[in-house]
């Protein structure tokens, strides 16, 4: 092997090979050798690393022909991994990829058959990209399931998150969501901690939206002790069709307040008129005349009907009803039978019009409603007896006064 040495070219005309490198030590088959526009490093007679004419470097592999023109510089390791840099002016861009390269036509391609992955770092952000399985030199189509913006916002299923954690998806069956599993004998937790300065301020919000419309929410709120900040509350909010979202149930640190008991046609005054709807909901009725129509004075005949009702003593049937905790199934009670009262005056009972049963397929908890063929008297509305009793008392009072007048006249005569 001839060696040429001169003052302008240095050591020249010595290419060598993997088994006989031109620059080596005492080991005859390990060193540096040259090929057409390439520099190789070999050990044990095998090429281990090379730099090609475009500046790409391969470790244990001949690198693919990446895009030229200074846009890309790649270190390809093995058959798939690549560390990617960019040319002048793109100092803030680079990445690490698997089974991906950019060819001379500036098109992303698969190095070999299989899936592809790419961690792309650009302008201070991270994009984690994936591609479905493809064939060698086939064109890659990326998706970006995970991103971190320069301001720290994290996106799952979205490249441009607008909140600290922004999760987007189209899969159903619970696949789009957050799942926390602890296989140890410990609890899991979602902790919301905020340094609020005013009472009742939100500490955390679980917000339910329908195509962007805020329709329901759970508010975790600060309490009233703004000094110690050791009390809190809970608010449940819902929104009717065409209306505004509003608090329906509020639980404070010391009790419960049902804001849902106020409807749009009642005032917000105190009321003892609280009732339970057939579906388990709660309601409030107002006694104000401004919410009533067709007002008439009760007729004596209606009031007289309650005198025909049968007062009863009874026990609860523990095979059909749940006995409240702390009460004995053998205790007895005074009252009326709803069916008997309904037969005399149907306005003195409440009516059951449907049966409700849990729906195992409805995750919102909404029950299955089965309408009855005929309404059934369900509860005696004892508070509705008051007008009848007042009518009877007034008439009885008139009779007493009339008799007293007669007695007084007889005594005077």
Lowest mean pLDDT among 141-145, 166-170, 281-285, 397-401: 281-285
28 occurs within a structural domain: no
Among 286, 315, 348, the domain-final residue is 286
Q: How confident is the model at residue 87 (pLDDT cuts 50, 70, 90)?
A: confident
63 occurs within a structural domain: yes
Coil vs helix vs strand at 306: helix
pLDDT, averaged across the chain: 85
Instruction: Find the mean pLDDT for residues 259-284.
Output: 57
CA–CA distance, 382 with 286 (Å, rounded to integer) = 17
Looking at the chain, the whole-number percentage of residues with pLDDT higher than 70 is 85
Distances (CA, A) of 54 to 70, 101, 179, 238: 8, 14, 47, 63
Q: Is the pTM of this model over 0.85?
A: no
Shared-domain flag, residues 380 and 309: yes
**Which of 80, 25, 76 is closest to 54 using CA atoms?**
76
104 occurs within a structural domain: yes
Shared-domain flag, residues 279 and 304: no
CA–CA distance, 248 with 218 (Å, rounded to integer) = 10
- Summarised one tens digit per residue, pLDDT across range 101-111 is 998 888 999 99
Shared-domain flag, residues 240 and 280: yes
Among 261, 286, 311, the domain-final residue is 286
CA–CA distance, 406 with 396 (Å, rounded to integer) = 15
Q: How confident is the model at residue 270 (pLDDT cuts 50, 70, 90)?
A: low
Q: How confident is the model at residue 401 (pLDDT cuts 50, 70, 90)?
A: very high
Provide the residue range defining the domain that includes 350.
Answer: 300-389
Coil vs helix vs strand at 63: coil
Shared-domain flag, residues 61 and 142: yes
CA–CA distance, 368 with 189 (Å, rounded to integer) = 32
**Which of 208, 203, 207, 258 is closest to 231 using CA atoms?**
203
Shared-domain flag, residues 378 and 346: yes
Domain count, the chain: 3
Q: For residue 382, is pLDDT > 80?
A: yes
Shared-domain flag, residues 241 and 308: no
Shared-domain flag, residues 58 and 148: yes
Q: How confident is the model at residue 65 (pLDDT cuts 50, 70, 90)?
A: confident
Q: How confident is the model at residue 264 (pLDDT cuts 50, 70, 90)?
A: very low
Q: For residue 70, is pLDDT > 60?
A: no
Contact residues for 291 (Cβ-Cβ < 8 A; gap 6+): 265, 266
Shared-domain flag, residues 274 and 327: no
- Summarised one tens digit per residue, pLDDT across range 222-237 is 988 899 999 998 888 8
Shared-domain flag, residues 248 and 206: yes
Lowest mean pLDDT among 118-132, 194-208, 337-351, 357-371: 357-371
Q: How confident is the model at residue 194 (pLDDT cuts 50, 70, 90)?
A: very high
Lowest mean pLDDT among 103-112, 148-157, 169-178, 272-281: 272-281
329 occurs within a structural domain: yes
More confident residue, 137 or 174: 137
Q: For residue 365, is pLDDT > 70?
A: no
Among 143, 167, 191, the domain-final residue is 167
Q: How confident is the model at residue 248 (pLDDT cuts 50, 70, 90)?
A: confident
Shared-domain flag, residues 142 and 243: no
pLDDT for 99: 96
pLDDT for 283: 65
Looking at the chain, the whole-number percentage of residues with pLDDT higher than 90 is 52
């Amino acid at each position: 092997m001839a060696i040429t040495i001169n003052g302008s070219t240095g050591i020249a005309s010595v290419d060598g090979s993997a088994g006989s490198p031109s620059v080596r030590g005492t080991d005859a088959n390990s060193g540096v050798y040259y090929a057409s526009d390439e520099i190789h490093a070999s050990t044990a007679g095998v090429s281990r690393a090379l730099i090609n004419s475009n500046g790409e470097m391969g470790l244990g592999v001949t690198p693919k022909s990446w895009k030229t023109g200074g846009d890309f510089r790649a270190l390809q390791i093995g058959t798939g991994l690549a560390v990617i840099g960019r040319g002048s002016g793109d100092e803030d861009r680079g990445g690490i990829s698997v089974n991906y390269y950019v060819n001379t036509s500036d098109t992303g391609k698969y190095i070999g058959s299989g899936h592809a992955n790419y961690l792309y770092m650009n302008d201070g952000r991270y994009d984690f990209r994936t591609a479905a399985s493809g064939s060698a030199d086939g064109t890659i189509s990326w998706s970006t399931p995970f991103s971190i913006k320069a301001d720290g916002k994290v996106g799952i299923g979205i490249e441009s998150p607008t909140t600290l954690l922004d999760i987007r998806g189209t899969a159903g069956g619970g696949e789009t969501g957050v799942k926390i599993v602890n296989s140890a004998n410990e609890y899991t937790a979602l902790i919301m901690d905020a340094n609020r300065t005013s009472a009742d301020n939100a500490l955390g919000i679980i917000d339910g939206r329908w195509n962007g419309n805020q329709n329901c929410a759970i508010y975790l709120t600060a309490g009233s002790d703004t000094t110690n900040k050791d009390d809190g509350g809970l608010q449940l909010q819902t929104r009717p069709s065409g209306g505004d979202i509003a608090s329906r149930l509020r639980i404070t640190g010391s009790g419960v307040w049902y804001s849902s008991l106020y409807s749009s046609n009642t005032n917000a005054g105190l009321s003892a008129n609280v009732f339970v709807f057939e579906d388990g909901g709660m309601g409030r009725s107002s006694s104000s005349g401004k919410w009533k129509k067709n007002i008439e004075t009760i007729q004596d005949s209606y009031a007289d009907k309650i005198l025909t009702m049968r007062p009863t003593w009874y026990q609860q049937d523990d095979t059909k009803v749940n006995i409240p905790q702390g009460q004995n199934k053998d205790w007895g009670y005074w009252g009326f039978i709803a069916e008997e009262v309904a037969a005399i005056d149907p306005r003195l009972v409440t009516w059951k019009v449907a049966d409700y049963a849990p729906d195992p397929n409805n995750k919102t908890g909404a029950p299955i409603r089965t309408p009855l063929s005929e309404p059934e008297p369900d509860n005696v509305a004892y508070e509705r007896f008051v007008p009848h009793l007042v009518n009877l008392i007034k008439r009885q009072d008139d009779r007493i006064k009339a008799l007293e007048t007669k007695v007084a006249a007889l005594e005077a005569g």
